[in-house]
Amino acid sequence: MKKESIFIEGLESFINGELIKRPSEVFQKIENIAIEKKFPILSPMSGHVLSFLVKEFSPKKILELGTGLGYSILWIMSSGIKLEKIRTLDRSIESLDYAKKFLKEGSLHFEKIEFILDWAVEFLKKSPEIATDSDFIFVDCDKVFYPEILKELMNTCKKGTSIVFDNVLWHGRVMNRTLNKNSDLAIQQFWTDIKKSDWKSTLFPAGDGLLLLRLE
């Protein structure tokens, strides 16, 4: 059974509800839709960390794998940095339509966002130059593909690129090596590959875990 949080009961809800300021009303609209439709989105606390990382590295071109409802992009844009391009990919046309609606309302630079309908691994294999061209990559899509995505990115990204994966603690299930769902096995393999790589990594235990990777 998935745990709601890696924190003690009630703490994450308190942090998200009482301590994390939303930059605009659109954030709360998306959160409400996510609850209504039972659609997983980045936690506000993780969004806050993501915004900080984007501001810290000041990328010009960003690639997002897993658009969802556009919530993560809003946090990225809230960093206030000057971006040239954001490419965001999702396999669901419904998700992309929701994201376009919310981002038109909540983003000051909607024209800089390119929406792509595709599967993440297939896209990376047929368009590796997009990953190479990106300075910052945020991954929040199907966990079963994390090992393949990691492999593709490590083979194509240039030095200095920042990559952030969400859900790397997988609701605490990462602690139990006996769990054998496809997603559990994928996250276990993902961590094995991370520990063998030369990339520098930093784990942020916010939400369900954000992992920052950099090749310097």
CB under 8 Å to 93, separation ≥6 — which residues? Answer: 117
Domain interval for residue 35? 11-214
CA pair distance 30, 27, nearest whole angstrom: 5
- The bridge status of strand 162-166 relative to strand 200-204 is unpaired
Inside any domain, residue 31: yes
Alpha helices of 60-119 — where are they, by DSSP H? 71-77, 93-106
Q: Give the CATH number of the domain where residue 73 resides.
A: 3.40.50.150
Q: Is residue 4 part of a domain?
A: no
Note whether residue 46 is domain-resident: yes
Instruction: Output the pTM of the full model.
Output: 0.95
Q: Is residue 5 in a domain?
A: no
So what's the pLDDT on residue 108? 73
Contacts of 156 (CB under 8 A, 6+ apart): 124, 128, 129, 131, 132
Instruction: With respect to residue 134, please indicate whether it lies within any of the assigned structural domains.
Output: yes
> By CB neighbour count within 10 A (0-12 exposed, 13-18 middle, 19+ buried), where does 141 fall?
buried
pLDDT means per 10 residues in the chain (216 residues)? 64 93 96 95 97 98 98 96 96 97 88 97 98 98 98 96 98 92 97 96 95 92
Look at the chain and report how many structural domains it folds into: 1
Residue 24 lies in a domain: yes
Residue 1 lies in a domain: no
- Tell me how far apart the alpha carbons of residues 62 and 97 are, in angstroms, rounded to a whole number: 20
The C-alpha atoms of residue 177 and residue 196 are separated, in whole angstroms, by 18
